[in-house]
Amino acid sequence: MREFVRPKVVVSKCLGFDHCRYNGNIITSSIVANLMEYVDFLPVCPEVEIGLGIPRDPLRIILENGEQRLVQSASGRDVTEAMEAFCTDFLGSAGEIDGFILKYRSPSCGIKDVKVYSTTSLKSAVIGKTSGYFGRAVLKEFSYLPVEDEGRLRNARIKEHFMTRIFMLAAFRKVKSEGHMRDLVAFHTENKYLLMVYSQEELRKLGSIVANKERETFQELVSEYEKHLYSALSRPPRYTSSINVLMHAFGHFSEQLSNQEKALFFGWIQKYRNGKASLCPAINIIRSWVVRFEDQYLMNQTFFEPYPEGLMEVNPVDSHLREDLWK
């Protein structure tokens, strides 16, 4: 059983932490609720932090003389400068963060698809889309970190990519704080297959850094490693990349397996490639061989458990716990 470092994640406070929406509501997010057991959250409501009350007149972004402004529709109060000052102060003092989960389409926290209006009038037309002021500042200041909204995290692949990143970055943060080469080597070794899924090119560069042929100091190495780690994780992997990793793992056992065992494994790989099955059966076959042949190297690979098992969800359509339709 892997031990996971708890990621530090900034989250919009209205997502299950406080009744701080403009109308006094709280938003229920199953994603955030499930993460609470495993993540250290830093909740924040930028609108409350700049002095707006609960409840309050809602904010909207308007285009005024070619410039976007953040205003309260009912009163016309402009809070643009106050919000920009808060973003600078908060993000400058937040410390080491592993990711962000922000409110979907919020004029303050939204990271995309936030409506831009022509005027403050409630009847004014939507003339474009943008990001919210706090969300925009986060994307600019922390472009290298996982930043998502609770709407996008409803997508299974986006959620998996996000969780994989925050737990890997949390583990790396611990490596940096401990300051030992052996910890960096261990981190790279345990994450080799997972990094292979993301980028073989960056994996080679990271391996070269860890080899340390120039005999650089830990601080020099870890700084360079961090840049390439962020680069490796910047894009979600192609779904077929996992096949390559499983084939590498298969190579550990190929000479010890029967023809029937090999055929079973390759059959599930082909079904996955053809979109006829998930990757889980092929992964579980490899995991059974890892246990059977006591392959310690593969046992330690984060590829097989990139984030806590308690966060893995079964699609209810596929679950045997569905309603019994035969009754």
pTM above 0.85, yes or no: yes
3 inside domain: no
Could you report the per-residue pLDDT of 119-174, keeping only the tens digit for each? 888 788 899 999 999 999 999 999 999 999 999 999 999 999 999 999 999 999 99
Residues 13 and 150 reside in one and the same domain: yes
Distance separating alpha carbons of residues 153 and 166, to the nearest angstrom:
13
- Domain boundary residue, one of 98, 127, 154: 154
Could you report the per-residue pLDDT of 269-305, keeping only the tens digit for each? 999 999 899 889 999 999 999 999 999 999 999 999 9
Structural domain tally of the chain?
3
Q: Give me 105's structure tokens.
A: 């389409």
Residues 136 and 95 reside in one and the same domain: yes
Residues 254 and 203 reside in one and the same domain: no
214 pLDDT tier (thresholds 50, 70, 90) = confident
Q: Give me 188's structure tokens.
A: 């790279």
187 inside domain: yes
Q: How far is CA 229 from CA 36, 223, 225, 249, 298, in A?
A: 26, 10, 6, 22, 21
Residues 109 and 143 reside in one and the same domain: yes
Residues 65 and 132 reside in one and the same domain: yes
Residues 227 and 281 reside in one and the same domain: no
Residue 18: phi and psi, rounded to 5, are -160, 150
What local confidence, expressed as pLDDT, does residue 195 receive? 97
Residues 41 and 140 reside in one and the same domain: yes
Q: Identify the domain containing residue 177 by its residue range.
A: 172-232
Let me know: does 112 contact 131? Beta carbons within 8 Å.
yes
Could you report the per-residue pLDDT of 163-212, keeping only the tens digit for each? 999 999 999 999 999 989 999 999 999 999 999 999 999 999 999 999 99
